[in-house]
Amino acid sequence: MCANPLIVVEDLAKTFTLHNAESATIPVFDRLALEVSPGECVVLAGESGVGKSTLMRSIYGNYLPTQGTVRVLHDGTYVDITRALPHQVLDVRRRTLGYVSQFLRVIPRISTLQLTMEPLLENGVDAEEAQGRAETLLSALRLPRAHWDLPPATFSGGEQQRVNIARSFIRNYPVMLLDEPTASLDAENRAIVVTLIQQALDRGAAMIGIFHDSDVRDAVATRLFGVSEFKAAA
């Protein structure tokens, strides 16, 4: 038998209600169930608009599901993200649940190196060790050393994306959500990210990903999950 799943999604439903547009409702999915075990990378499949990002954001606690539970194994206990208090969700995010989005959202004027170290500093790693690990990772992602002391605001899309990836992979999160992490990267950088993902899987991380490029998807997916099978009736 394999180890306990790190993510257990049960009976999940999400419907958006737009109160300022004549209370229009947009049903996305319904009765969705998903389990992800250590070493698995589940890739969400389905065409644009089917609710892949909505599912991922619901798992991260960024969206509030209409119904159902999202349990994440945190410190040996399952925490239901949909009902946990804000500080509990933040603790899960700080230590267990990593998220790589397509966008870099950070305080301006802070250097790339500092930004990359931040997740480690938040977890009490001392500054020297954090800096060493940040430098190793930024080198691996081939971000020019001349950029490290600069804030990423003026970087290209691909460079900002790599800062984002460095910030997430610097911590060995047991659970990671990847929302198109390779969207604006060239083939060589995509290959580096694939290696990072495979290394994380080898050490037993559980992952859920959205990838539009098929080469990345084929390289990392251990199985596909069709979100459209759970399409909610409009």
Partner 1 sequence: MTTATIERSPSQAVAEIGQAPPLLRVSNLSKWYGHVVGCRDVSFELRPGEVLGIVGESGSGKTTLLNAISGRLPPTSGVVEFDTSRFGLANIYALNEPDRRRMQREEWGFVHQNPRDGLRMRVSGGANVAEPLMNLGNRHYGQMRRATLEWLDRVELDTSRIDDKPRNFSGGMQQRIQVARNLIHGPRLVFMDEPTGGLDVSVQARLLDLLRELVRDLGLAVIIVTHDMAVARLMAHRLIVMKSGYVVETGLTDQVLDDPQHPYSQLLVSSVLQI
Per CB under 8 A, residues contacting partner 1 are: 16-20, 57, 61-64, 69, 71, 77-80, 82-90, 105-110, 121-122
- Nearest distance from C-beta of residue 140 to partner 1, angstroms: 26
- Cβ-based burial of 231 (10 A; exposed 0-12, middle 13-18, buried ≥19): middle
- Contacts (Cβ under 8 Å, ≥6 apart) of 116: 134, 137, 138, 163, 166, 167, 170
Say how far apart CA 90 and CA 95 lie, in whole Å.
9
- Residue 86 vs 234, nearer CB to partner 1: 86
Q: Is 162 helix (H, G, I), strand (E, B) or coil?
A: helix
- Nearest distance from C-beta of residue 199 to partner 1, angstroms: 28
Q: In what order do the strands lie in the sheet with 41-45?
A: 97-100, 175-179, 206-210, 41-45, 223-226
- Nearest distance from C-beta of residue 113 to partner 1, angstroms: 14
- Residue 32 vs 45, nearer CB to partner 1: 32
- Residue 16 vs 215, nearer CB to partner 1: 16
- Nearest distance from C-beta of residue 71 to partner 1, angstroms: 7
- Residue 20 vs 48, nearer CB to partner 1: 20
Say how far apart CA 228 and CA 164 lie, in whole Å.
29
